[in-house]
Structure 1
């Protein structure tokens, strides 16, 4: 069994306006750096012996102070990468609102796929494969929908239930995970920033 802290990367300037996906160069703003420091303080006593991050800059910048506080090296895990949003990458949410494919994506995550991108089921499969290889207490820094895909699985829900779970920037959720199962211990905790 593993005890896994699922951390969503901290805030950046486009977090609520643009579907950044795997765009390079998206880095934390001042608020995000404060959130990352608060996460590091919160996780200092977690006993985590492994810290892994998505390869994207915003996730790495969130994970670095956590790893430093824990005295652990930071590992990069491609399995934690954001969903590949294909043609939607870099588009403003407001511009996507009238797109029928965007509406389908948000109504049927179990079966829909972004144009030229990856399905949520594929993202779920890659991150669950990683979780099955872990043991002990770990911190994984990733992205909202990747984390949601794990949480719906642990709760025994369909991917279509993804939007019933809040995973805010700079938040952590805690699961206990074992081959074939798991349980939710904590959800969407946002440590107070200084």
Structure 2
């Protein structure tokens, strides 16, 4: 018995590449992002999803809602899919962060550093992978879309690939992309990474 997870990064918003949004409230999809969400829904409809879960953040829920509607299932919010807690860094511009030596350390050795007032990368990975295992146990043989955030998706992929968390910079998870992971009693395997869906 296996469970297939489609790991969907939320669609585009106006702060991409400028601000470390983290868990800031009120970050919503723009026009481009809404078009991407519709394209994701059309792409995933053929997968015959059994369930759709999304992070508590607005940008993830706004991406997940059309996916769930196209699949004919409710969209449920799953707190374990939330963005990494970046603590005091949330809402900072990347320009500000590059002047902070703690940011340099975080990007050099994430497995042994913690954002100020936030969570470690290993804590985030444990909650994400734990959530997938719980969903596998509760849903069994199923196909499930999980709408989350880039680094959290990368952490799940790193787990399935047997990579250290510091390897996250070696692969890309773009906005409005799909990566697929299969979990079974035997462990985990990656089926695809960063399938980009055009609006």
Query: TM-score normalised to the size of structure 1?
Result: 0.97
Q: 1:65-108, CA deviations, whole angstroms, 9 ceiling, x for partnerless residues?
A: 00000000010000000011001010001111121110111111
Contact 1:177 1:183 in 2 (8 A): yes
Pairs within 5 Å for 1:60-139: 60-134=61-135, 135=140, 136-139=142-145
Equivalent of 1:182, from 177, 185, 188?
A: 188
Instruction: Report the count of equivalent residues.
Output: 193
Q: 1:124-149, CA deviations, whole angstroms, 9 ceiling, x for partnerless residues?
A: 11111111122311000000000000
SS in 2 for 1:23: coil
- Runs of 5+ in structure 1 lacking a partner? none
Contact 1:37 1:65 in 2 (8 A): yes
Moved over 3 A (4+): none
Pairs within 5 Å for 1:33-72: 33-72=34-73
Give me the CA root mean square deviation. 0.9
Q: CA deviation at 1:179?
A: 4.5
Matched, 1:191 2:197: yes
- Runs of 5+ in structure 2 lacking a partner? none
Query: TM-score normalised to the size of structure 2?
Result: 0.95
2:185 and 2:35 map into 1 onto residues whose CA distance is 35
Q: CA deviation at 1:181?
A: 2.0
SS in 1 for 2:182: strand
Give 1 or 2: higher helix fraction: 2
Aligned to 2:161: 155
2:113 and 2:168 map into 1 onto residues whose CA distance is 13
